[in-house]
Chains A and B, each alone.
Chain A
C-alpha cells in the first residue's frame, strides 16, 4: 500500500509521519497481523481521526506510535517520525525522552489511567520534573496553570486530591492537563470520550479543539464514534482489517465516501429527520475477517455488496487531485452510481 499524503501536508513538515507501519502479534494460534502497512501523517494544528470497527487495528496503531505495544507484539515501520525525529530505529532511552515531552497520550478509561496511590499533583508534576528538570515549585505552577486551562476550578486544592475523589469528566480533564505538561507536538487520544457520558463528551471534545487551536498540537484521535469524527476531524482515515481503506478530508470522506466499507459505516448512523422512526438502520453483514495469516485480495470482499471476481486480487490505490485516496477495484463513477 502506498503512502497516502494529501497535498496540504507536503507544504510544512508534518508533526507526525508514519510510513509503512505494521504490527504483528505472536499468539498460540499463529501470528496476528493487527496493523498492515499503514501510512499517514498529521500536520501541526490538524486532527487526524482513525475510525473503524472494534478489532480493526486502530488502537494497535496508536499504541505502536507510542511504543506501548504488549510484549508479544512486534512493530515494523519504515518511518515513524515525531517532530522530525525518527522513532523507528531509536533506542528505548531516546523514546523515553520523547514520550511525554514531544508526544503524549490520553487513554480511554480515565478511571484507571491515573495512579490511585498518588495525588493528582504528584502525578502531574512528575512528568515536568522528569523531562524538564524543573524545580517542584515550577512544576507545581505549571500544573496549576494547566488545570485552570482545562476548566478545573480551584486547581491548587485539586492538586492535593487523589483520583478517587474526582469524577470521570474531571479525571479526563486531569489526563489532558497532564498530557500537556511539556507542550507536546503530538497528542494521541485513544477513544478519549468513550467512557464518559454524552454531555461530558461534548465538553471534553470542545476542550481538545480549543487547546489545539491555541497550542497548535497535532491530534490523532482514535474512535469508532463517527459523530465525534464529523465534529473534530480535519483528516479521516478509515481502517478495516488492519489497513487504511480510505483517507481524505472530513468533507471528502463524509460527503463522497468512495470505499463500500466507508459507505456502509455511514449508513449505520441514525440521522435525525432522515432515519424514519422505527425504521432499520444500515448494517454491514458479516464480521471482520480473522487477522491471522496473509490476506489475499480485498479484505472487505466477503462483506461487500459490490464484490466481484476481480476482488480476489489486491485492490488498486486510487486517488483524486484533492488528496482523497481509497483502495478499491470499483471505478469512482460506478461506486457513486451504485450509491444513488
Chain B
C-alpha cells in the first residue's frame, strides 16, 4: 500500500538569523511622517496655534476683557492709523483684539479637545460593543445611530441650548453627546472585521474573557481609525461651536470666542474689515491644520498596516 515515505533527513531546527537591524516602529513612523508634506505643514500650523494660544497670553500685557472706549476700532498695525500698542487693533468696545483672539483660540481648543474626548469615548464604546457582540446589542446601537443620523445635529444643538441656556459647559456637553455617531459607525465596522480574525480566536483559545478581548485585542486595533476620526471631529466641533456662538447660542459674551468675535464684528464689516477677517482666517487656519493632520494620520496608519 502506498506508505508515504517520511523524509528523515530534515536539517535541525534552523537558527533564525539574528534580529535584523530594523528601525523601531516609532522611528519608521516618524520617517514616513516627515516625507508627508501636507501632514508636516498641518502639524506645524497646529503646533504654532496651540503654542500661541497657550503661551502668549501669559506675558501679553492686555486684558481681553478690559474696555477702553477712547480706543474703539483701532486698526491693526499695518494700517496707517495702527499702533504697536494694539498689534491687531481693538474691537468696537476698545478691547485689545490680539488678546481676545488668543483667548478665543484657547476656548476653541478647549471645546474641540473636550468634545472629542466625550464623543470619542461614547462612540468608540458603543461602536466596539455593537461590532463585537452583534445580535440584539448591535440592533439596539444601530437603531440609536440611525436615529441620531436622521436628525440634523446643529438643529438639535440649537434646540437644547435654547432650552437649557448657553454656557461653555453646556456647549461642550451638547456637542459631545451629539457628535459620537461617526466614531460609533467607524469603530463598529472595524470591530466586525477584527472580530473575525484569528488572533481574536487565539485570545479566546488562551482563556481570555470577553472583556479582555474587547479591551486587550479589539480596542488597540481600532485606535488608528479612532484617532483619524477624532481629528476630523475636532475640526468639525470648532466649526459648530463657532456657528452656535455666531447665532448667539454658544459661548456668551464677554467670553471671547472666534465665532462670537465674527458675530460681534458683522455690523462693522464694511468700515473695519479686519474685525471679521482676523477671527475668520484664524478659524479657517485651525480647521485646515486639524484636517491636514487627520488626513496625514490616516495615510500613515494605512501605510503602517500594509507592511
Contact = CB atoms under 8 A, between A and B. Distances in A.
Interface stretch (A31-39, A114-122, A240-248): A114-122
Interface of A: 66, 68, 71, 95-101, 104-105, 107-109, 112-118, 126-127, 130-131, 151-154, 157-158, 161-162, 164-165, 167, 169-170, 175, 178-179, 181, 202-203, 206-207, 210, 226-227, 229-231, 254-257, 263, 266-267, 269, 271-272, 274, 339
Nearest to A163: B199
Given A151-B13, A151-B14, A226-B4, A117 B221 contact: yes
Contact of A230 (B4, B11, B135, B209): B4
A179 B216 CA distance: 18
Given A114-B199, A161-B19, A100 B207 contact: yes
B289 to A, nearest CB: 27
Q: Quick one: which of A117, A170, A266, A271 has the most chain B CB within 10 A?
A: A117
B16 A152 contact: yes
Interface string B182-223: 000000000000000111011111111100100011001101
Main secondary structure of the interface of B (DSSP, over half): loop
B17 interface: yes
Given A113-B201, A203-B13, A231-B7, 14 more contacts: A68-B201, A99-B206, A105-B205, A109-B198, A112-B197, A113-B202, A118-B220, A127-B207, A130-B206, A153-B17, A153-B18, A164-B307, A165-B22, A255-B1
Contacts of A112: 197-199
Contact of B205 (A104, A118, A206): A104
Contact of B134 (A71, A263, A339): A71
A112 B205 CA distance: 14
A68 B204 contact: yes
Interface string B152-185: 0000000000000000000000000000000000
A116 B306 CA distance: 11
B207 A99 contact: yes
Contact of A202 (B10, B22, B205): B10
Nearest to A66: B205
A23 B25 CA distance: 43
B19 A154 contact: yes
Contacts of A181: 206
Interface residues of B, number: 41
A118 B7 CA distance: 37
Given A71-B134, A227-B4, A254-B1, A162 B25 contact: yes
B51 interface: no
A97 B207 CA distance: 6
Contacts of A206: 10, 12-13
Nearest to B216: A126
Contacts of A157: 19
B168 to A, nearest CB: 36
Contact of B220 (A98, A115, A165): A115
Contacts of B206: 99-100, 104, 127, 130, 178-179, 181
B4 to A, nearest CB: 4
Interface in B1-47: 1-7, 10-19, 22, 25
Nearest to A131: B207
